[in-house]
Amino acid sequence: MKRTLYYNAQIILHDSTDWGAVLVEGEKINRVVKEEELSFDEFEGADFIDVKGNYLSPGFIDIHIHGGGGYDFMDGTEEAFREIATVHAKHGTTALVPTTLTTTAKRLEDTLDNYSKVSEEIINGAQFLGMHLEGPYFALAQRGAQDPRYIRNPDPEEYRYLIENYPSIVRWSAAPELEGALAFGAYLSEKGIIAAIAHTDAVYEEVVEAHKVGFNLMTHFYSAMSGVSRRNAFRYAGVVEAGYLIDDFDLELIADGIHLPDPLLRLIYKIKGPDKMILITDAMRAAGTNVCESVLGSFDDGLEVFVEDGVAKLKDRSAFAGSVATADRLIRTMLKLGNIPLEEVIRMITLNPARVMKVADRKGTIEVGKDADIVIFNDDVNVQMTIVKGRIVYQST
């Protein structure tokens, strides 16, 4: 079994950063050694890689991502899955959850079929953790860039069929105020699938009921969700306020500096704290490219978008259409705009998503026995090397 020692590293642990070395044996982390305790004689026969004083971090986990490198998971090809995983690995992502868009039942099944074909492959990029269905059960008024042609209420026959036939579905985002949404959420919880609130016009009381049946995650917090509103002269707290008030909710953040500006990032951190915040890219196909125009969703049935101001927008500029961020950009944003300690930022894109996706027993921290998912980056969070289950899948030149 191959053994590799990564030494001369600033190892990012749960709440501290220590100088030392990490021994990888096969797919697992075998030892974590403090610098003052390191003796190279102990590791005779291993490959030695000098990290050169850079940071050694747990691999970044992106639980909400649509595409990158010119590809979208809705393209209907196995190639799209492989290429997206490769592109994002260059930016430190070692595991990801492919995400769909609101679409036809057939295209949804085609996407799930393609996932099944590639999910067990050894890809030269990030590992897949299962599929995230974003929609089609959304509030039309909060559709954002989701195609209104396909938005509908939860259909028991449809979602039961999909869940029974596609075990790859690990999370599903929906609006909890829709007719049938509470029964849908309860069914997801019964099946061990993460129920997330998204594209919703709910009021606080409706979120409370949704939480009771198992909704415990908020998809791209603040984006396409209600805040305080007035109805018949009375004020109602919305989904945003529910996210703050209900401690159990984890909040996804598109931390590209555009979707959530500095004051909101700091507010979320102040109220929820670092352990309930999850950084996501929500990246669409233009991520990792320099294009000015692109398509959200599949080429033959998607929406044309502009890429400007560091974000994708609908043609009429009425809404953002996903981000063009990569994981390293999220970290830089949180460090510079949020003014948050590095260890806490890293936790938001490693351990926190691992916990939510129920893989924290094997991913999310640099610990003995866990998967050797590792990112090495410099002071500017420029990725130097990405390692997935012990394999180097990217190395800067």
φ, ψ at 219 (rounded to 5°): -75, 130
3-state SS class at 79: helix
Q: Is 282 annotated in the active site?
A: yes
On the CB side of 68, CA atoms within 13 Å amount to 30
- Identify the helix (H) or strand (E) that includes residue 296: strand 293-296
CB 242 within 8 A of CB 208: yes
Question: What is the rounded distance in angstroms from the CA atom of residue 190 to the CA atom of residue 71?
Answer: 34
Q: Which residue, among 56, 136, 123, has the nearest Cα to 96 in the 3D structure? A: 123
In angstroms, the CA 167 to CA 145 distance is 27
Q: Which helix (H) or strand (E) holds 387?
A: strand 383-388
DSSP-derived secondary structure for 322-355: EE---HHHHHHHHHHTS---HHHHHHHTTHHHHH
Calpha distance 341→311 (Å, rounded): 25
- Asked if residues 390 and 384 have their Cβ atoms less than 8 Å apart, the reply is no
Are 95 and 87 in contact, with CB atoms under 8 Å apart?
Answer: no
* C-alpha of 329 from chain center: 13
Among 147, 201, 256, 282, which one carries the catalytic annotation? 282
Residue 22: alpha-carbon gap to chain centroid = 26
Q: How many angstroms separate the CA atoms of 217 and 185, rounded?
A: 12
Got the DSSP string for 120-181? TS--SSPEE--EEEE-SS--GGG-TTS-GGG-----HHHHHHHHHH-TTEEEEEE-TTSTTH
Q: How far apart are CA 133 and CA 174, in angstroms?
A: 9
Counting every residue written for the chain, the total comes to 397
Q: What's 193's DSSP letter?
A: P
The residues that are catalytic are: 282
